[in-house]
Chain A
Amino acid sequence: MILDHDTILLLSCVGAILVVASIAGWLLSLRKMSPAAKAVVANLNARTRSWWVMAAIFTLTLYAGHVWTTVLFGLISFMALREFITLNETRRSDHAVLFWVFFIITPIHYFLTGVQWYGLFSIFIPVYAFVFIPFRKVLAGETEGFLNSMARIQWGLLVCVYFVSHIPMILAIPLKGHAGKNASLLFFFVLTVQLSDVLQYVWGRTCGKHKIAPNVSPNKTWEGAIGGILTTTAISTSLWWATPFSPWEAARMSLLLCVVGFFGGLVMSAIKRDLGAKDWGSSIAGHGGFMDRIDSLCFAAPLFFHLCIFYFGTDANPMPPEWVRHMLGR
């Protein structure tokens, strides 16, 4: 896929933001300050460096097209699910089910994403996988904690794999009257949700006072949340020209994405505390684990995907692709 003009402009904006952030971080690191403040600046710079890497990888795969973007998010799903399952206390009797979830169900689901079989993509996990998982688990013959561990595994699969896979699917869905705008739509989505995270962090750090839910996420403040959501909505609205949205639609959509992203982060944070961890992992310097970076994206992705379809309508065919029908002899 050759990126359209609008997406390239959006990419340049992100590049410019990162250059400014890197220079600002470098200038901050030159100043004399207390050890605590130094740690904050070091973390900020680690985050910026990780952002460069993540933005570069995302841009490359976006440029390479739907299949490579699917592969990228498939790997992200796998890593996020891995973090999720690791923090949960799974038992010996979950072993076989987990093998199916990681190495069979997740790859099949991302295969369906890659071949754009929209109908089966939508129901494979909620119907087929959720019927199969309890069947396979009951074969293990263990009743203690049965519902508990099955619920954890299914919920992990739903959030880490099913929800996240809607991100690459945004690239593939043919929206009525907006063919070829998918890359910029996906970029608009990821940029809005992630920028909202960053700006909530910046507003919270600089003028955050009143905590929203100190038990769940000690760093989230009303000032941070409202400041971050409003500035992001303003910035994203100003990018309406790159999307199929009118300015007013872009404003409503980005506001919704910011709010859903905020709650997504809060929910994943609550689960993290429930499981007794501070971060989901330690794979991404400055950020934590994969799930720490995509927590706000996972809930917003299916919502954004279906709102776009609801709003614009789609020409997507839910029936099996041609080659599958051919194989089945129909």
Chain B
Amino acid sequence: MMRPFVAAVLRVVTGARPHPGPLHDGDRAIYFANHTSHLDFALLWASLPRELRDRTSPVAAEDYWGKPGLRRWIACGIFQSVLIPREGIKRANNPLDRIGSVIDEGRSVIIFPEGTRSLDGRPGEFRAGLYHLARRYPEVPLVPVYLENLNRIMPKGTILPVPVIARVSFREPISFRKDEEKTAFLARARHALLAGKGPG
């Protein structure tokens, strides 16, 4: 099959190691990571243990990855992404419903709570999407994944890669607390992502 091959190529090219597992309790999770490069979702996906990887869908922006042709084939054909709109959100195309339907099927998702790629590699503020998703699925563990050096391999605005060695660090999972405010939850999630790393 093509997918294990793509995952292996991604790991060889970026020098990242697959996680030996186990990563979290239960069979599905919401992975959330800092976003600095087009390679992010692909490499995070490739670094998952195989049995988790086969049941994980990255969440990708429809306006970019949904264009028919190569991009759409990469996003949907290879990575089985969930495409969500970033603008013009209505009840009919509610991104939470689309992500939710994937989680309901028993799959895991990869999301980037900043919503866009940061320029300097340091994570910006989290948008509310992660909070709403966590509130809808309080029983699903939230796994922070810190991505390093991917912005050096292929920064925003470039198409040529440089072979810097990337690092994918899976952090301790966190879980949703019912009584927690939105801003407090997002701050806690961001802190969990940055834990073990200097002030970001």
Contacts and interface: CB of A to CB of B under 8 A. Distances in A.
Contact of A86 (B119, B120, B151, B164): B164
Nearest to A81: B163
Contacts of B120: 92
Given A92-B119, A99-B160, A82 B155 contact: no
A96 B120 CA distance: 16
Interface residues on chain A, size class: 10 to 19
B165 A86 contact: yes
A98 B119 contact: no
Contact of A82 (B119, B160, B163): B163
A85 interface: yes
Interface string B10-27: 000001010000000000
A83 interface: yes
A85 B155 contact: no
A90 interface: yes
Contacts of B151: 92
A82 B15 contact: yes
Contact of B162 (A83, A102, A282, A283): A102
Nearest to B149: A86
Contacts, number: 36
Tell which of B15, B120, B158, B162 has the most Cβ of chain A within 10 Å. B162
Contacts of B155: 92, 95
A224 B130 CA distance: 56
Contact of A83 (B149, B152, B165): B165
Name the prevailing secondary structure of the A interface residues.
Answer: helix
B165 to A, nearest CB: 4
Interface string A64-103: 0000000000000010001101100010100110110010
Contacts of B163: 78, 82, 102
A83 B15 CA distance: 10
B164 to A, nearest CB: 5
A96 B161 CA distance: 9
B122 to A, nearest CB: 13
A290 to B, nearest CB: 11
Interface residues of B, number: 15
A281 interface: yes
Interface string B142-154: 0000000101100
B165 A281 contact: yes
Contacts of A85: 162, 164
Contacts of B152: 86, 90, 95
Nearest to B164: A86
Nearest to B165: A86
A92 B154 CA distance: 9
B162 A99 contact: yes
A85 B161 CA distance: 14
A78 B162 CA distance: 12
A105 to B, nearest CB: 13
A152 B163 CA distance: 16
Nearest to B158: A95
Interface string A220-250: 0000000000000000000000000000000
A154 to B, nearest CB: 16
A90 B162 CA distance: 11
A113 to B, nearest CB: 20
A102 B164 CA distance: 10
Tell which of B15, B149, B161 has the most Cβ of chain A within 10 Å. B15
B158 A82 contact: no
Interface string B103-123: 000000000000000011000
A179 to B, nearest CB: 38
Nearest to A87: B165
Contacts of A95: 152, 155, 158, 160, 162
Interface of A: 78, 82-83, 85-86, 90, 92, 95-96, 98-99, 102, 281-283
Interface of B: 15, 17, 119-120, 149, 151-152, 155, 158, 160-165
- Counting from the closest, the 10 A-B pairs by CB-CB distance are A86-B165, A98-B162, A86-B164, A99-B160, A82-B163, A92-B155, A99-B162, A102-B163, A95-B158, A95-B155
11 contacts: A78-B163, A82-B165, A83-B165, A85-B164, A86-B152, A86-B165, A90-B152, A92-B120, A92-B151, A92-B155, A95-B152
Given A82-B15, A82-B165, A102-B162, 17 more contacts: A85-B162, A85-B164, A86-B149, A86-B152, A86-B165, A90-B164, A92-B119, A92-B120, A92-B151, A92-B155, A95-B155, A95-B158, A99-B160, A99-B161, A281-B15, A281-B165, A282-B17
